[in-house]
Structure 1
Amino acid sequence: MREHGDIQGVRRCVRAAALAIGGAAVGLTALPAAAHAAGASFAPAVITAAGPGATSIVAADLDGDRHRDLLTPNFDAGTLSVLRGDGTGRLTATPPIAVGAGPADVAVADLDRDRIPDVVVANLIDNTVAVLLGKGGGALAAPVSHPAGARSGDLAVGDVTGDGKRDVVVTDHDSVGVLAGDGNGGLAAPRTFPAGTDPTDVTIADLNDDARPDLAVTSVATGRVSVLLADRAGGFAAPRSFPAGTGPVGIAVADVDRDRKPDLIASDYLGNAVIVLFGNGLGDYPNTRTFATGAGPADVVAVDVDGDRKLDLATADVHTSTISVLTGDGGGGFAAAISLPAAAQHPSEIVAIDLDHDGRRDLATANYTSGDVTVLLNTATIRR
């Protein structure tokens, strides 16, 4: 676990090290584990062991049984945990897999085009990206490591070079690196692009409606979000920078005001809030709004949790060990946060996924200090 001054460059370092920083409580509506408010309703939290220093979480059907599984990289142990889903919301842990030193982020994608999901892990300490090719039935090949540059603590996967092959984008020191995929599971050496000071999180989306994937990158060090618009040569233009609170960490892309233009939502870890940056469809974000969350929101997802067809927000709050849910009004506004106990220590990342096949999006967090995963099954009434 690193000190606060050393963690500003990478989101998972922020999460891991920030646990030592005091976080003042903020005004929230406190609810029991089985929560019902403003149309949002969740069953009590269920905890499944993962591994020491669970920093990130992703959902995917890894074994082809049509049930979603959850994967977490375990920073302190140098391992990857795969928690098998049974379609009812229950998870079963499998033996951890060694992936490298300081695994901090994970993604699942088909890198070798065999229609079997592969796993990609960013290793912060040894500055590598590990690729574990899927063999079918949930089996994974031994990890193959690729150099990824300094502070490779967060990643995203997508075809950013426009050749029909999935690439890996990793955060680096003052830049992002693109490791071009060869379509067979291999990755080229990173090609770097400026991305602002100490990038913390990166996501891929078309932000200016030109059918090319762009990048959005947070920086907890500067309190800004950088947007890198794709050029026509498989690269990115110089970053455009927009204010996003005091210290943004997580980033999500969604149209929260239903104007058919992608907005950015940043979890302001140092400001105990989410910052909504409203897009103009051209890759610019001239207007923002701020909404309070629990203390130390490390990640955010945009999802309709109450079944009203309007996007809501959910955050993983490190200092209060809670999950904040903010129901949306469909116009870019959000109600006061509902605070749900994570029933674990220091949730660091959150995903929204239907784990029990009931048509509702459930919430799951990776919890760093307790080394486990929290699942909150969604029990909201679906409105037809």
Structure 2
Amino acid sequence: MLRTECGIPHAAHWKAMRVFYSFSFALAALLFFTAPSANAQIFARCGKSYQVGSNPTAVALADLNGDGYPDIVTANTGAMGDPRQERPANDEVSVLMSKASLEYEAVPPLRADFAPYALAIANVDALKAPDIVVASFMAVRHNDLALFRNMGANVFEPHYFRTPDEKLAYCRMTNSSHEPVFTVPGLTSVALGDFNKDSLRDAVATGWSSDIILFFPGTADTYFGEPKTFPAPGGPRDIAAADFDGDGHLDLAATLYSAGDLALWKGDGAGGFEPAARFPARGRLPGPLAVADMNRDGRLDLVVAHCHTDDSIVIFFGDGRFDFSVSQEIVLGTRRDVLEHEIRGILAADLNQDQRPDIAAACHTSGQVVVFANQSENSSVPIAFKREAYSFDGARPRAIAPADFNRDGATDLAVALSSDNKVELLAGKPKPAGETEAKAKPSRETSKNRKTNP
């Protein structure tokens, strides 16, 4: 029987008063953006692309075979249909193993539940090699979370984890017969970390269909235990784990897609989480989320992208106490009433080796990856950016991830193209020998980015 039972949508809504000091790039683009020449751009299309499964919605990179090169993993959702169909979506995860620099060979696809939607890679078991964790959106087989243990020699051992039905309600749309359109819990993102300090890897995931966050505690024998859940009303879509208040415990941040909010939970270091903040995301349909110290003041910031006609990225600057009152908006499009870009993937990282976090966005409708190179010399806000755009000849970028694919010291980008069922590389340009960057010192030591991509 499908886990699509109807429940009453969670009516509780956290109320919080927030004053936002916003810097609008829609009105002041000339003040903060410079247009780069082609030679000055960070990346270049290098003509390298690799076939993967149907409709890749997530991409993750790690050295799975120990040869020093990043391997490529994609979650291939396919075309999603009625959950009552025998095969309502694809169920494959593609793994491309490196043979040499920029050369890859596909191994037999891994089988998760239907509509694998998000990925995380880390060493979950006691073996040396990184393992693959997959969250499935349409888990008709009840295998909400899948762990593929990396046994070496291109062998991955599957383990599956489910959420008991009694913990799940259905909180999204219904059809004309008042039947649920999706399954529960509808996982859309996953992150890994040691949240209870037992030296075992735990997992957290967003249950979009059920308005919950799921915490899968790590165990020594089964790798993940039965999940604990707590409410996240508003359609939790993407999740990040980081120590936002500097107490040594991992906290959580999530975008609430349906409500248009951001929410944070304070971790207690024992696997418990308490609501810490909730505030508007300054745009409709907030989806992809990244964490970085964008202005280098020693405090972690939130970077959220909106999938609606806002076509915007908003940086919420943290104060180290779960207060994100100061924010900066970056508008990609020319109009606010037309979907021009549709940002579906985002990352915040130093992409050009200048010690400043940059932003890259996978834009599905415009067929571009748009990069914002951080130009600021100190921790003041707003941050100045240089905008670059890379077009993919009509293909649809859906997700991005960074790595050095050819070991030349430059960061490259893997771009999942959902329309072409491919991953294409954007090659980073190494800095000339001896080139240095003059940088102002941040006011405090920069915190490490603990975010992994959905």
Aligned partners of 2:426 and 2:247: how far apart in 1?
37
Say whether 1:248 aligns with 2:250.
Answer: no
Flag the structure with larger Rg.
2
Say whether 1:289 aligns with 2:339.
Answer: no
Aligned amino acid, residue 136 of structure 1: G
Q: Deviations over 1:34-81 (max 9, x none)?
A: x434x5232435321111011101001111111100100111221010
The match for 1:274 is 313
The match for 1:358 is 408
- Residues 62, 117 of structure 1: 8 Å contact kept: yes
Aligned partners of 2:420 and 2:251: how far apart in 1?
35
Alignment of 1:319-338 (within 5 A): 319-330=365-376, 331=379, 333-338=383-388
The match for 1:75 is 77
Aligned partners of 2:275 and 2:226: how far apart in 1?
21
Say whether 1:311 aligns with 2:362.
Answer: no
Aligned partners of 2:289 and 2:299: how far apart in 1?
16
Range with bigger deviation, 217-226 or 183-192:
183-192
The match for 1:163 is 198
Distance 1:317 1:277, change over 3 A: same
Q: Secondary structure at the match of 1:283?
A: coil
Distance 1:86 1:325, change over 3 A: farther
Aligned counterpart for 2:161 among listed residues 146, 161, 178: 146
The match for 1:56 is 58
Aligned partners of 2:373 and 2:293: how far apart in 1?
14
Aligned amino acid, residue 145 of structure 1: Y
Aligned counterpart for 1:137 among listed residues 153, 174, 196: 153
Say whether 1:121 aligns with 2:121.
Answer: no
Structure 1 residue runs of 5 or longer lacking an equivalent are 1-26
Aligned partners of 2:121 and 2:393: how far apart in 1?
27
Aligned partners of 1:232 and 1:82: how far apart in 2?
34
Range with bigger deviation, 173-182 or 334-343:
334-343
TM-score (normalised: structure 2): 0.73
TM-score (normalised: structure 1): 0.86
- Residues 342, 374 of structure 1: 8 Å contact kept: no
- Residues 36, 386 of structure 2: 8 Å contact kept: no
Q: Deviations over 1:121-170 (max 9, x none)?
A: 111111510111111233211x2211146111211111112221111111
Q: Report deviation, 1:185.
A: 4.7
The match for 1:42 is 44
Say whether 1:197 aligns with 2:234.
Answer: yes
Distance 1:113 1:272, change over 3 A: same
Q: Report deviation, 1:215.
A: 0.7
Aligned amino acid, residue 262 of structure 1: L
Give the RMSD, CA atoms, in angstroms.
2.2
- Residues 85, 355 of structure 1: 8 Å contact kept: no
Aligned residues with identical type, % of pairs: 27
Q: Deviations over 1:247-295 (max 9, x none)?
A: 2111111111010000111112222121100000112211110112361
